[in-house]
Amino acid sequence: MKQSGQFITFEGIDGAGKSTHIAYVIELIKQHGIEVVSTREPGGTPLGERLRDLALNEKMHLETEALLMFAARRENLAQVIEPALQRGDWVISDRFTDSSFAYQGGGRNLSLEKLNTLEKWVHPDVQPDLTLLFDVPLEVARERLDATRVQDKFEQEKADFFAAARAEYLRRAAEFPHRFQVIDSTRPIPEIREFLHQLISGLITRTRAIANE
């Protein structure tokens, strides 16, 4: 029997360190002979990338911002995520709906009820199988951001925005413990990599065992 595809999302406030580990996890899964599709949000499709450009660079009403995130997500689900999972491929996404809860919900205070409505509308039947939440104190994230790159609209936000976004991430991790894995991203990169190696290898073994039952 063909094993079922796993949907893995990477989450965290900007500068937490999630991009540092994505390529490693993709390679690790590929080494086991599994097809992996990687995507990102907002983005992942040609239209989604155009929506990303708007969402990350233009000032707009909070609800417009939330709707653009979910519009890009709808496209990414239809064109990339759902077809890949149906083929039995694994999908790795750099951010997904937990980002909307953290940033538009926590950071900007959009009601969780509205976000729940959008989530139920756009992906009633799809949830990540595993969400890796890279968690660091705000000061650490800020230091890492300042040291590295030109900052977009979100990355220029103030400390209380990121404090609220981080709190919402942790609230969701507590609400959905079956899929969230919180990673202390202040630990050295090789240590986190080793932890990811164990976690993903275990997941591959388990999905293969289920497929062979």
Ligand X SMILES: Nc1ncnc2c1ncn2[C@@H]1O[C@H](COP(=O)(O)OP(=O)(O)O)[C@@H](O)[C@H]1O
**Which amino acids are annotated as binding site for ATP, given as ranges?**
12-19
Binding flags for ligand X, 165-204, as an x/- string (CB under 6 A): --------------------x-xxx--x------------
Phi/psi region, residue 17 (left: phi>0; alpha: psi -120 to 50; beta: rest), is: left
Nearest distance from C-beta of residue 52 to ligand X, angstroms: 15
Q: How far apart are CA 28 and CA 30, in angstroms?
A: 6
Nearest residue to ligand X by CB is: 17
Q: Is the separation of the CB atoms in 159 and 145 below 8 Å?
A: no
- Eight-class DSSP state of 1: -
Tell me which residues in 67-126 interact with ligand X (CB under 6 A): none
Q: Which tokens is 212 given? A: 């062979």
Q: Which tokens is 146 given? A: 């300042």
Q: Is the dihedral of CA 53, 54, 59, 65 positive or negative?
A: negative
- Determine if 14 is a binding residue for ligand X (CB under 6 A): yes
Pairing of strands 36-40, 90-94: parallel
User: Smaller CB distance to ligand TYD: residue 40 or 166?
Assistant: 40
Which residue's structure tokens are 């991009």? 19
Q: Residue 15's binding partner, choosing from ligand TYD, ligand X, none, with beta-carbon cut-off 5 to 8 A by kind? A: ligand X
Nearest distance from C-beta of residue 211 to ligand TYD, angstroms: 31
Binding flags for ligand X, 133-152, as an x/- string (CB under 6 A): -x---------x---x----
Binding site for ligand TYD (CB under 6 A): 14, 19, 40-42, 56, 69, 94-95, 99-100, 103-104, 152, 154-155
Query: What does the chain come to in residues?
Result: 213
Q: Which tokens is 116 given? A: 């729940």
- Determine if 3 is a binding residue for ligand X (CB under 6 A): no
Which residue's structure tokens are 């360190």? 17
Q: Residue 154's binding partner, choosing from ligand TYD, ligand X, none, with beta-carbon cut-off 5 to 8 A by kind? A: ligand TYD
Nearest distance from C-beta of residue 149 to ligand TYD, angstroms: 7
Nearest distance from C-beta of residue 175 to ligand X, angstroms: 22
Q: Which residues bind ligand X (CB under 6 A)?
A: 12, 14-20, 134, 144, 148, 185, 187-189, 192
